[in-house]
Amino acid sequence: LCRGACSSPPPEMTMQRAAASLCLALAAGQSVASLDNMRAARIHSAITKEDTSGVYVDNIPMGTPGKGEVLIEVHTSSVNPVDWKLAEQGLYITPSQLGADVSGVVVGVGTGCSRLQVNDEVWSDVGYSGLLPGAHGNGAWAEYVTVAEEIVSKKPTSLPHSMAGALPLVALTAYQSMVTAGAPWDPNSNISVVITSGDGGTGSLGVQLAKKMGAQSVRSCAAPDHLSYVADLGADVVVDFTQADVFDGVPDDSIDVVFDNYGANGTAQIAMNALRTGGWYVFLAGGTGPGICEEPACTPKDGVNQLSLWTDSSGHDDLDAIAAIADSQGLTVNVDSSYALEDSADAMARQMSGQTEGKVTIEVIA
């Protein structure tokens, strides 16, 4: 990339021009932040489902990788429910750069980095620094993002950026939920898993990873027009949530793992009845649901383990493991819709609609 970019690229090609400036700056030991700007989607005010105009693209300085950091040229990012929930509640420091997921190419490496190098194709969950006092975010809805090397993994070779960029946060969430509950399991151990919503990001990855990590039976639910999609992902039973509850017909003491990624009122108590002694109830923290089973609202079952899961993106090991699963067993990535960086507000509105099948992505380099 640097060899090609430094050979006087056409001035109208913004990405190549930025890469050329980066190469020249690195060669001269200079800061690249002053040499070029980049486009980044930032939030300037709280949004609603009817009005996402508070999100728009600005031209801002391109960052420089510091000690232990890499600079990633972003190819694809995506919208997660937490993005709009935080934005809707006005929790970001404004203006703040948005986006946690990234798949792209390393174009700069700071001092102290030894694992990654320029031209590596990588993915990461860069987190939500825009929530911190005094910060304005370092999100991936941008042409470039500076990220700590420790949280960046080489992306699956089996997935193009357009698909890999949809996965880091939801894949980490689903993977860590299964590992918490004991995965990978012995295929002969007859493990049964319930995932309370199978057609969104965490659910679609949860269904696949549960099966690929040894679960014998996976049960989930979906919207009427998404039933075949979730079944194709590997779910053995898919319930139409407009007609029945995912636990309808499930005997007491028959389930090993409940991954409650939806969080409806009353789910925790129903899960307690369905779970075996030694089983796991994993609740996806940060949602709108009541959380794990706690008295007086819910009566926990003796011997059932519970966890309110916050996704841990502080290292690269789990993304490495997910990449290995994708490359050895395959992962299906369903992109509901894709938007250009300039249309990030529309991408947010689509995710907020509640009608998505799979992920909404933002393509920075198509």
pLDDT value, residue 138: 86
Instruction: Give me the count of residues in the chain.
Output: 366
pLDDT value, residue 217: 98
Burial class (CB in 10 A: 0-12, 13-18, 19+), 192: buried
Structure tokens at 207: 């269904």
pLDDT value, residue 174: 98
Rounded to whole angstroms, the Cα distance separating 131 from 98 reads 10
Structure tokens at 311: 């996704």
Q: 238-241 long-range CB contacts below 8 Å, 24 or more apart? A: 238/198, 241/197
Longest pairwise C-alpha distance within the chain: 69
pLDDT value, residue 128: 87
pLDDT value, residue 356: 84
Q: Indicate the pTM of the whole model.
A: 0.88
pLDDT value, residue 83: 92
Rounded to whole angstroms, the Cα distance separating 3 from 7 reads 7
Give the chain's radius of gyration (CA, Å): 21
The answer to whether residues 361 and 165 touch, using CB atoms and an 8 Å cutoff, is yes
Q: Which residues does 169 contact at the CB level (< 8 Å), separation at least 6?
A: 80, 82, 100, 101, 125, 201, 311, 313
Structure tokens at 251: 């005997």
Alpha carbon 140 to its chain's center: 12
| Per-residue model confidence as pLDDT tens digits over 231-272 | 999 999 999 999 999 999 999 999 999 999 999 999 999 999
pLDDT value, residue 136: 57
Cα→Cα distances 147→113, 327, 335, Å: 11, 24, 25
pLDDT value, residue 137: 66
Structure tokens at 25: 């700056």
Low pLDDT (below 70) residues in the chain: 1-35, 130, 132-137, 287-288
Alpha carbon 182 to its chain's center: 22
One-letter amino acid of 292 = I
| Per-residue model confidence as pLDDT tens digits over 105-135 | 999 999 999 999 999 999 999 998 767 665 5
Q: Which residues does 284 contact at the CB level (< 8 Å), separation at least 6?
A: 173, 177, 202, 259, 260, 261, 263, 309
Rounded to whole angstroms, the Cα distance separating 230 from 218 reads 11
Rounded to whole angstroms, the Cα distance separating 199 from 49 reads 21
The runs of H, that is alpha helices, within 252-341 are 267-274, 317-329
Rounded to whole angstroms, the Cα distance separating 352 from 346 reads 10
> What are the strands, taking DSSP E only, across 134-230?
144-148, 152-154, 192-195, 217-222
